[in-house]
Amino acid sequence: MVIPGLGFAALGAAGLMAWAVRGRSSNLLSESVWRGPSGHRAITLTFDDGPSESTPAVLELLARHGARATFFQCGCHVRRLPDITRSAAAAGHEIGNHTDRHPALYLRSAAFIRDEIARAQASIAEAAGAPPRWFRPPYGARWFGLRAAQKAHGLTGVMWTAIGRDWTLPPTAIVERMKRATRPGAILCLHDGRELRHRPDIGPTLAALAELLPWWEDEGYELLTLSDLLCRPN
């Protein structure tokens, strides 16, 4: 027997679950932000999956334009390249937690999620000199147990206003995506690593940055760390 409306209810539940896991504005599975206040002409540029051997080139470009960024780093890479994490922190950039080994968190146990976050938190704190206050889940996917794990470490989740898809797009397309998304309070996501790869090729990211950084300057935008963007008075 078919119960009237059951199919629509199932579809609705599936849609709600998908939004809870991946929706940028969802707070159902963990506390999370995806944009900052719009009262100032300021944005935050974030980088995921590092540190990598290519991160120093990103740091050099940012320094050239007086820009500050937030780097969401994986614990395994921090232990591999602690000097790069230290250099980023010493240059005034902020280091966030991106788990230890970049796994997708959905369908994982609460214990698995706690361990991934705790190991990365400890490794970053040792290298950077302070524990992160921001967390970005790999692939932007959250799951049950994440809220408690974030709370245990004083972390707030961070999604993004727009993501550059710089692991697959050419520089011109990355630039266009970022320009379209640029507005006061935007949190923009690029990558200085490629998941767990060593010595990744981030040439498209670097080429896009070389064009975007002077454009943001010309447009009058400040590039701030997440803490500066989200915690300053509006």
pLDDT one-digit tens code per residue, 128-168: 999 999 999 999 999 999 999 999 999 999 999 999 999 99
What type of residue is 139?
Y
The span from the CA of 230 to the CA of 158, in Å, is 11
The confidence score (pLDDT) of residue 142 equals 96
Is it the case that residue 191 has pLDDT exceeding 50? yes
Q: Taking a C-beta distance cutoff of 8 angstroms, is the pair 182, 188 a contact?
A: yes
List the domain boundaries for the chain.
Answer: 30-231
Stretch 47-53: mean pLDDT: 98
pLDDT one-digit tens code per residue, 52-105: 999 999 999 999 999 999 999 999 999 999 999 999 999 999 999 999 999 999
**pLDDT-derived band at 117, boundaries 50, 70, 90:** very high
* Ramachandran bin of 134, using left for φ above 0, alpha for ψ from -120 to 50, beta for the remaining angles: beta
**pLDDT-derived band at 2, boundaries 50, 70, 90:** very low
Mean pLDDT is lowest, of 10-14, 151-155, 204-208, for 10-14
Q: Which fold has domain 30-231?
A: TIM Barrel (3.20.20)
* pTM assigned to the model: 0.93
User: In terms of pLDDT, which residue wins out, 45 or 13?
Assistant: 45
The confidence score (pLDDT) of residue 232 equals 72
Q: Taking a C-beta distance cutoff of 8 angstroms, is the pair 113, 135 a contact?
A: no
Q: Mean pLDDT over all residues of the chain?
A: 95
Q: Taking a C-beta distance cutoff of 8 angstroms, is the pair 74, 47 a contact?
A: no
What type of residue is 61?
L
Is it the case that residue 13 has pLDDT exceeding 80? no
Percent of the chain with pLDDT over 90: 91
The confidence score (pLDDT) of residue 152 equals 98
Percent of the chain with pLDDT over 70: 94
Is it the case that residue 234 has pLDDT exceeding 70? no
Is it the case that residue 11 has pLDDT exceeding 80? no
Show Cβ contacts of residue 64 under 8 Å, excluding neighbours closer than 6 positions. Answer: 213
Residue numbers annotated as active site: 48, 191
